[in-house]
Structure 1
Amino acid sequence: MSNLPLQPLRWNSQNHARSAFHEYLIRKDGEARKNSKSQYEVVYGRLNTQQSYDVATGFATIEDAKTWCWNHYNEKMQPYVVPDSIADIANWFKAAKPEPTDEDLSVQIGCCLEEVCELLEGLGAQTGHYRELTDLANEFKYKGEWALKRVRNLTYQQRIDIVDACCDINVTSVGVMKLLGGVDVLGAQREVVRSNNSKMVDDKFIFDDNGKIMKPDSYSKPDLTPFVKQGE
């Protein structure tokens, strides 16, 4: 088992990708070749085996086909790769927002601040500046003019400062869970990733009018009870 996160598939100009174990080729499917339609299929299989290659069909675009290939590759490689929660989350956002806008960033900042409010709620600390923080979260989450102006006018130094803060938030939030005691941090994080993945329908996300990912019938809430021990 590798201690590295799963490496991305690398595609050449012929829409062909090969990993250490798998091979994928994207091409127009049989009917599309006859009728000059833009439908695609994936010819795929495991290298160095006697098994014949399979074919997945019905992709409207090459990007749709590549997304299917990544999901298939990711699933087949899980027994051999130690999960990397940060990479999983980054890939999830890449799939959800492949071309993010300033509005998307504003909503995400609002969601981040909203989680801080939920931490305070968990502590029963809805006092002091809690309401102000909630209002600030909503200003970003619902793309208020004040919030969008700040997002759109970020300097390079501000971008660095934001990255630094987000990395520190990752570290300090893990610290909170560890110091809380009796928490399987990696297990809990993977359960949240699993829950987020259940928001996908046919490898795609559905968004509401505000650009936030909706929760379809396939969605299941994270069950964190197995990862947090009860107190003595």
Structure 2
Amino acid sequence: MRVLVAEDERDLADLVAMGLRRQAMAVDVVYDGAAAAERLAVSDYDVLVLDRDLPGLHGDLVCRELVARGSRTRILMMTAASSVPERVAGLGMGADDYLPKPFDFTELVARVRALGRRSRDQVPPVLTRHGIALDTHRLQASRDGRHLHLSLKEFAVLEVLMRAEGAVVSAERLLEEAWDENADPFTTVVRVVVSRLRAKLGDPPCIQTVPGAGYLL
């Protein structure tokens, strides 16, 4: 899942990003509204965690512009203002969910995951294919009953491949969905992670390389 965190309190933004990355999400961070609008214009995110009171371009404007474009990105709006009128106003301008500060991090994760499921075709929380069971909530994976000890990046790549339901997934798409903006598209990082993932999945081999196109499960 690809997430953009837009929050001007840098310590909070970085903590939220770090916590979401530990949930196998690819997370980018910006600290003002103009930067958020710029990233949203060039990258396809599943969820935007949006502080309403951003400097520069206000969070309300970021929200309205995203909704006006018909983007599939789901918006979780955050603010210290937690009154009912404030929540109603935020939802009224197109936000999909509203979380007042301070918040419990487990609740934030649950809300981000729920919005992520709504941003794409509806899929169950436990994905199954070729004897593989991938629990996207508990971050647990197994094959034929054997527990798989996957890194967060290996888990994220396997999730993208399983969601594709047998379709070929390009290396570029894997980079977009499983890595953040700091990934170098000219490195062999995707090939290396896929190679490690193949080894951990074991026999019979289930990840196929399609020359010039990508990978399929």
TM-score (normalizing by structure 2): 0.27
TM-score (normalizing by structure 1): 0.26
Pick the structure with more strand per residue: 2
